[in-house]
Each structure stands twice: as C-alpha cells, then as structure tokens.
Amino acid sequence: MSRHQLFIDGRWQDGTGESDILLINPATELPFGSVASAGVEQIDRALASAQRSFEAWRTMRPAKRAEILKDAALRFAELTGPDLEQVFTKQQGKTLAESRGELARAVEMFEWTAAQADHPFEVDYSLPNRKRVAYPKPIGVVAAFTPWNYPAVLIVRKVISGLAAGCTVVLKAAEEVPAPAIAIVRALQEAGVPDGAVNLLFGDPAAISDQLLSSPITRKMSFTGSTQVGKLLAEKASKNLIRSTLELGGHAPVLIFEDADIGAAAASIAEYKFECAGQSCNAPSRIYVQDRVFPQFLEALATETAKIKVGDGCDPTVTMGPLQHRRRLDAVKALFRDAVRRGAKVVTGGERESGPGYFFGPTLLTELADDAEILAQEPFGPILPLIQFSSTAEAIEKANRTPYGLAGYVFTKSEDLADEILTQLAVGYASVNCMSGVPADAPVGGVRDSGYGLEGGLRGIEEYLHPQLVTFVGGFDSAHPPERS
C-alpha cells in the first residue's frame, strides 16, 4: 500500500507522530494506503523554516515570484492526468468526472493566481504638495487549513494566493485525501520555490492547529471547514492577534418562483446539489418553491434525481459516489431519521439497506416540520428538503432563517423580483437562474456564521497583504522609492 509523506523545509519525510493514518476507500471501506502524522518537533521545524524563508521570498522581485509560480502551475497541470484522477477518486469518493473537473479548475486557478504575483497592488494617495503611497507588505507566515471535500481547489486558493503575495505557508491538509496536496506541493518544489516557503503537514487536526496558532511565528490563518471548528480556531488565533480568513458552513437556500423555468431549474439544482454527494458548502440545501408550481417542480426534480446513478466513483458510468467517511454517513442518517420521525414524506431515496461503502442515495423530502433538524443544520450530504411558500416576504424570511450566509440561489424571470430578493438575501454569494461556480478571478466570502474575509481574485490575494502607507515630502515628486515586495 502507498505511504504519503510530509514535506518540511524542502524535504519529504516520514512522520514522527504516534502512528501513520490509514486511508480508507469510502466506496469499499477497504484500506489502501497510509499518511504520515506530524510530530511536535516537525511542526516546530515547519514553522521555523517558513519564518526563515520568508525574508528571501518576500524580498524576491515580484516578477521572479510570478515566474516560479507560473512554472509550478505548468508542472501541476502535467501531474493532473488519469493516475491522479484515479487516486483522488479512491481517496475522496467523488466520481472520476468530478475529480477530473476539480483538478481542471485547480489548474485554471493556479495559473491565474500565479500570474498575479507581480500585480501592482500599491495605491497612490498623493496630494499636490506631497507623495503618499500605500505599499503592499506580505503579512508573514500563513497557517492554512483545508478540508477533504474540494482539496485541490481550496489548497490552490490558500497556498498559491499566499505565495503570490510574498508570504510563506504551512499547510495542514486533509489526511483523508492527501493526493492533491502532495501533487501541488511537489509542483512547487520542482519549480524552485525556496526550501521552507511551503510546508505540508498531516496528522491530528486539533494538535496541529493548537501548535500553529499558539506560535508567535504565525501571522495569518486561513481555514475552510465547519462553523463549529472555525469559531474554535478563530478564538485561538485571536490570542496572538493572527489575521484570519474563514470560509465556514453554509445552508444554501434556493427560491423557486412561479414564473421560473421549472425544467431548467430542476435540472440545474439536481446536477449541482448531488455533485460530490452533496458535500459542498455552496450546495443547495433548502428548496423553497412557490405553492402554485410546487407539484410541477417536485415532479421535475424527482425526474432529474432518478437519473443519478450511485456507486463506486471509479466506475465511469456512475454519477454520484459515496460520502467521504463513516462520520458523515452517520450524520446524514441522523438528519434523515429525525425529519421522518417528525412527519416528513420521502419522495425518493433514503437509506440503503446493506452493502459496503458510505452510500446514501439522492433523497427528496417534503412536508417537513418547522423544527426538523435538517432545516437548521447544514446536511452536507445528498438530502434535499422542499418547502412551499406563498409570498415573496415569506420566501425571504424562510431563506434568512438560519444563522448561515454563504450562498443562495433565485429562479425567476423577473429582474425586478430578483433585485428585490438579492437586496434582502443574507449571503455572500448568489446567482439567478443558474447554479454557478466561482471563477478564479472573483472574490467570494460568507457572512454571519459562514465566516469572514475573502478568497479568490485580487481581493483574495490582498488578504495576505498589509498596506504600509508612506508619505514623502521634498524631492520625491518624480522619483520612485526603492522597489518593495
């Protein structure tokens, strides 16, 4: 079985933690490899090497940093072939097509972000009698924490944005799905990123986060994961005044109005909801349908859902794989059983009776009680509750009822109605008449319990920079101050 190592100070190495972590194929529940677990001394060395390399990396000419990162993007693209797709699917559970699609998105994001490393982030605030400029300064060593659901894309968003800004990074990646992290770090190593500029750790999440966030070396934290864990990490980071970016849980509402294109809405929602078995913070997780078109929409969505083939993602005919691990399956089952116990009607799907793998079929629920747990908790799985509404005000109130605010979706042909909804919908990202992903050049971030800060685009890179405002008087009107990283 394959063994996956850590990368610290420019060297691949075994872990000194208590024991390696076993990798389990979520489609078969069989072990097929292991991941090294970082020990206390290795975490300290990762931090020390990131601190040591920071000076050389931040003072490197931005054009040179961009050149190295562009080369790394090309090398990563070369690694994203069928072999990586197969390993990715066996580790994560998503289908081969989904693994291929995520890797392609990660390459696109890598290439775009690398090209921004020499972007002129300084801003001129000069007055007639004095020169005044805000120069971007890399904030320092970054502790990045990435989850198992979209590891390739989310690692690129954090690590490459940090490196493009001139920061160095200690990455704590998800030990369940190590392959994308290893490929990205290997590409950076081969492209000539200085030793220590990027470090890769696997192991006990609580122990590693405690050590990284209690260190005065760490000056920036970026985390994607659950709201519960994000709040704990934010509290730890606050003790050292570590700047933080948090992309946390979502419970994305979808509002279907009576003038919507019902067939197109159903097809779009089914495709986006059940991607990665519903394990996405942006996935639609509450469908509110205007009562006059509820039967029509339910029939259309049930028809689309019936087309989904569940099974081992390595089978190219399968369109939805298993959940990633046993804990996730148990959580989804608990939400399903609670909803049914409180009177929900199962339109399609439900629990599988037997067999290996962490499978749960695409499930539609109606007639839910207001106090059903699935309406308050993000399901993070292939269950979709459908609720009727009669008025626009009722739809908005129900959509904003949870404390989350990551994504939301509206289906209507009325531009005025869409505008009315969007001005009141408490989310950081919304789309109208589509289920659209976020492109590399656009920033996105949650509100309320879905986090704070931005990722993606130039604004995402600026999260790793601090503007130093400098005022010059006398002799600097035409002269350019020394170049700053």
pLDDT class for 353, splitting at 50, 70, 90? low
pLDDT tens readout for residues 152-201? 999 999 999 999 999 999 999 999 999 999 999 999 999 999 999 999 99
Active-site hit among 247, 304, 378, 455: 247
What is the domain extent for residue 412? 252-432
Contact yes or no for 227/248 (Cβ under 8 A): yes
What average pLDDT does the segment 209-227 reach? 98
8 A C-beta contact, residue 95 and residue 320: yes
Pairing of strands 11-13, 6-8: antiparallel
Where residue 106 falls among pLDDT bands split at 50, 70, 90?
very high
pLDDT band, very low/low/confident/very high, at 485 (cuts 50, 70, 90) = very low
- How high does pLDDT run on average in the chain? 95
Neighbouring-strand partners of residue 331: none
Q: Examine residue 298 and state whether it is found in any structural domain, yes or no.
A: yes
Same domain, 237 and 330: no
The verdict on 343 and 427 lying in the same domain is yes
Residues 6+ apart with CB under 8 A from 454: 245, 443, 444, 445, 460, 463
| Catalytic annotation present for 247 | yes
pLDDT category of residue 479 using cuts at 50, 70 and 90: very low
At residue 2, the pLDDT reads 86
Told to judge if 281 belongs to the known catalytic residues of this protein, a careful annotator would answer yes
Amino acid 436: pLDDT? 81
Q: Say if residue 483's pLDDT is above 70.
A: no
Looking at the structure, do residues 337 and 282 belong to the same domain, yes or no? yes
Both 308 and 385 in a single domain?
A: yes
Catalytic residue among 102, 111, 276, 281: 281
The pLDDT value recorded for residue 476 is 60
Model pLDDT, residue 129: 85
Q: What is the pTM of this model?
A: 0.94
Co-location of 411 and 467 in the same domain: no
In CATH, what number is assigned to the domain containing residue 82?
3.40.605.10
| Residue 92 clears pLDDT 50, i.e. is over it | yes
Q: What is the pLDDT averaged over residues 379-395?
A: 98
Number of domains in the chain: 2
Please check whether residue 15 is in contact with residue 6, taking contact to mean a CB–CB distance below 8 angstroms.
yes
Residues 417 and 295 in one domain: yes
Same-domain pairing of 270 and 189: no
Could you write out the DSSP letters of every residue in 205-224?
HHHHHHHHHHSTTEEEEEEE
Q: Which amino acid is at 155?
A: I
Q: Return the pLDDT at 477.
A: 54
User: Same domain, yes or no, for 241 and 295?
Assistant: no
Q: Which two tokens stand for residue 425?
A: 């919908």
* Tens digits of residue pLDDT in 16-28: 998 899 999 999 9
How distant, in Å, are the alpha carbons of 20, 293, 411 from that of 258? 55, 6, 9
Decide if 171 is inside a domain: yes
Residue 484 lies in a domain: no
Is there a single domain that holds both residue 69 and residue 166?
A: yes
Same domain, 256 and 196: no
Residue-wise pLDDT for 282-300, tens only, equals 999 999 999 999 999 999 9
Asked, for residue 481, whether it belongs to a domain, the answer is no
**E strand intervals along 85-193:** 123-124, 131-138, 141-145, 168-172
Per-residue model confidence (pLDDT) at position 148? 97
pLDDT at 70 over 50: yes
